[in-house]
Chain A
Amino acid sequence: MSSLIVENIKANYGPITALKDTSLVVPEKAIVTLLGANGAGKSTTLKCISGVVKPVSGSITWANKEIGGQSPNSITRKGIAQVPEGRRIFKDLSVTENLEMGGYTRSDRAGIEADLEDIFELFPRLKERHKQLGGSLSGGEQQMLAIGRGLMADPQLLMLDEPSLGLAPIVVSQIFETLQKLVEERELAILLVEQNMKMALRVSSFGYVMRLGQIMISGSSEELEDNKEVYESYLGTA
């Protein structure tokens, strides 16, 4: 049972409160979406889970064990990987080297090799360009690489921070299709942070809407989709 339970976490950036009281659940093999406007605390929530930001209070349980406040190194080892906002590809590293760095915490050589092959099969474009520097790829290719790099950690939970940002609509739908495929094939759970709510709700089964560091609404994706006025007001879009 590898599900993620976040309960009442609080987090600060210096004097600024970024998260007031956030709780959410990501069940096994599910895609869960976290929606909200800029500065709502979505990224901070992901960073608390991945260990980059230490929550001040509250608890984060993964597979029935408390992981709140641990280092990214030990959280990655436990099977949680994050694809950061803006992709953050290592520009001066080759595609293959980028992927290898995603698997930094692993030492099972055979497993790493196999996963590398899997990712090249999933994204043939990356295979074609495996020797090129990460910085020379197009935006869509970089997003594929960022997802591949996350998968190299062999996670049971993959967290993606705005994977659609700055990408053409066709590329966005390809990426979301891939995510669905991953959940089916790799028995992966996904926590998705998005501003592109239409796409996000289409692929996910459950969603949360955040505002000012708090979860305001939660529900199944259908419910949220039918509840347009409410979440749109939180997202600050017309």
Chain B
Amino acid sequence: MLGQQILSGLATGSLYALTAIAVVVVFRNTRTINLAQGDFAMVGAFLGIIFLKEWGMNYFAMLALVVLCCMALGGFVERVVMRPVAESDWLTLFTTTIGVYYILHGMAGWIWGRDTKAFPVSFEATPVEVFGALISKGHLYNMAIALLIGGVLWTFFTKTKQGIAMRAVTDDPETAYLMGIPVKFIVTLTWVMAGAIAGFIGVLMAPIIYVSPEMMDEILIKGYVAAVFGGLYSFRGAVIGALMIGVAENLAGGYLGSHYKTSVAFVMIVVLLAFRPQGLVGIQERREI
């Protein structure tokens, strides 16, 4: 029973981790706390329904197209909405993303309706045994995809020129610009990347939580709490935080009662901020925001 709770906690946690990574990617390079991150995934989930039901695409073609659309959405938001205010202070940037959040919520409700829709992919409940614990195939699949995306991102950031350049821009944008790194292009790239991750999250989450304009609100908050575990800076800290939240809320749900589940993440963040405001992992010096 305990093993099972932990395992399905890790499965949910891995999706929080993807959200947290997207949050950190954008924050590191633009100082923007992007509240619309979840809505990129929400739009992706609605598009997924269209691609499957109306266009008759198969699952993987749908996934690829959703990811591409969300990348375009991320890039569009950066170029059209965020770039004009890019030099502003963090509060202006944050408030601008609240605007994007409401616009996307409103447009989704207007176009697709406010009712909850089922995602036409059945979430396979058939349990599989892993290390003696039972876990549904759907959860296992989500974990595998999350791990794969994590691996791709790690490779991108450590092995490719654009990925290293993205870290250089995080570190010191002025010097990066001096070296000939196109800083503005890199910033667009971070939003495109956040969009891509959101596309995956939307498609992976949709069968579990159903599709509605509000579907991502709670997940985004947990993703944020997880990101704060890494000081909004460390990917490792964000992933560890996300997995901890996933496991802790599952254990609370299992042993204390399901109504305790939602509050766990908030209790954790309060405790964390009280004792380690710089985050859990890896930042020696607090960077100015």
Chain A residues at the B interface, C-beta cutoff of 8 Å: 50, 52, 71-77, 82, 84, 88, 90-93, 97, 100-102, 104-105, 149, 153
Chain B residues at the A interface, C-beta cutoff of 8 Å: 161, 164-165, 167-168, 170-172, 174-182
Bound-state Cα–Cα, A52 to B175, Å: 10
Distance to closest chain A CB from B182 (angstroms): 6
Bound-state Cα–Cα, A104 to B164, Å: 10
Asked if B171 and A104 sit within 8 Å, CB to CB, the answer is no
- Across the interface, which residues of B come within 8 angstroms of A52, CB to CB? 174, 177-178
Distance to closest chain A CB from B231 (angstroms): 13
Contact of A93 among B164, B174, B178, B182 (CB under 8 A): B164
Bound-state Cα–Cα, A97 to B176, Å: 12
Interface of B is mostly: helix
- Residue pairs across A and B with Cβ atoms less than 8 A apart, 29 shown, are A52-B174, A52-B177, A52-B178, A71-B180, A72-B178, A72-B179, A73-B182, A75-B180, A76-B179, A76-B180, A77-B180, A84-B178, A88-B172, A88-B174, A88-B175, A90-B171, A90-B172, A91-B171, A92-B171, A93-B168, A93-B171, A97-B168, A101-B176, A101-B181, A102-B179, A104-B161, A104-B180, A104-B181, A153-B179
Q: Name the CB-closest residue of B to A102.
A: B179
Q: Name the CB-closest residue of B to A150.
A: B179
Distance to closest chain B CB from A59 (angstroms): 21
Bound-state Cα–Cα, A84 to B179, Å: 10
- Across the interface, which residues of B come within 8 angstroms of A102, CB to CB? 179
Q: Name the CB-closest residue of A to B284.
A: A135
Bound-state Cα–Cα, A76 to B176, Å: 12
Contact of A73 among B164, B174, B180 (CB under 8 A): B180
Q: Name the CB-closest residue of A to B175.
A: A88
Q: Name the CB-closest residue of A to B283.
A: A92
Bound-state Cα–Cα, A72 to B181, Å: 8
Bound-state Cα–Cα, A117 to B198, Å: 41
For the complex of A and B, list the 7 residue pairs with the smallest distance between their C-beta atoms, beginning with the closest.
Answer: A76-B180, A73-B180, A105-B180, A88-B175, A90-B171, A101-B168, A90-B168
Q: Name the CB-closest residue of A to B163.
A: A97
Most chain B beta carbons < 10 A, residue from A73, A84, A101: A101
Distance to closest chain B CB from A30 (angstroms): 23
Distance to closest chain B CB from A139 (angstroms): 17
Contact of A72 among B170, B172, B180 (CB under 8 A): B180
Contact of A153 among B161, B172, B180 (CB under 8 A): B180
